Amino acid sequence: MLFDVHTHNRDTESLAIVNCGLDDDFSRYRRFSLGLHPWDVDAHWREKLDAYRQLLENPPFDGFWNQLAAYGEIGVDKVRGVDLNTQIDCFEEQLMLAHRYDLPVVIHCVKAYEEVWCSLRNLLLPHPYPVIFHGFRGKPALAARLLRWNYGYLSFGPHFNADSLRLAYEAVRMFLETDDSGLSIGDVYSLASKALSISPAEIVVPGIFRL
């Protein structure tokens, strides 16, 4: 079974977690995620986050909690977005919101692993639950560091460091994703299978989601 842990493709027919915003008709997706992306954090982020809180407190349709698979993508981006402190404040607020509802977190992290790790260590390690670093392209040393935290998972798109992918797979902490690549999840599985020297059908991903 090919599973796409994170996609922006609204028309996907694959088994996937579709990343949505408040304006999306997420009721039509078998599984979806919600969260305030760091690129969308601005001077009004607290008001935006209140809208997410209201949505979680007042689910808009029957089956909402069966279909909501994760909170995210959220995170910190040093290349794009508002100032770093504002991004971190919003990220930490959302970590606690995800914790309140016992939702796995999908993390967007660009050149900010120290800051993200500090927030996770301070807020989540006392109450650990799954955290997926999506679109991971880091080197094996960084992958190994993130994998030492037993609740940390790495998700790989079509561009990845093969050694990092193998480390995550051997630790049973590897997911695959299409993100906004335009490729199918089958394409990504094929790329990963070559790095792992197994067939796409042999790839096994962690069973932390109800699918």
Burial class for 23, CB neighbours closer than 10 Å (0-12, 13-18, 19+): exposed
Confidence tier at 149 by pLDDT (50, 70, 90): confident
> Would you state the pLDDT for residue 137?
97
H or E element at residue 209: none
What pLDDT is stored for residue 127 in this prediction? 67
Residue 126 clears pLDDT 80, i.e. is over it? no
pLDDT tens per residue, range 168-211:
999 999 999 999 999 999 999 999 999 999 999 999 999 998 77
- The kind and range of the H/E element at 118 are helix 113-123
The structure tokens listed for 203 are 């790839």
Q: Residue 5: is its pLDDT beyond 90? A: yes
The arithmetic mean of pLDDT across residues 24-30, rounded, is 93
| Range name among 23-27, 125-129, 143-147, 174-178 with the lowest pLDDT average | 125-129
pLDDT bracket for residue 81 (50, 70, 90): very high
What pLDDT sits at residue 210?
77
- The answer for residues whose C-beta is within 8 angstroms of residue 135's C-beta and 6 or more apart is 6, 108, 155, 156, 157, 177, 179
Q: Out of 33-47, 114-128, 162-176, 177-191, which region has the weakest mean confidence (pLDDT)?
A: 114-128
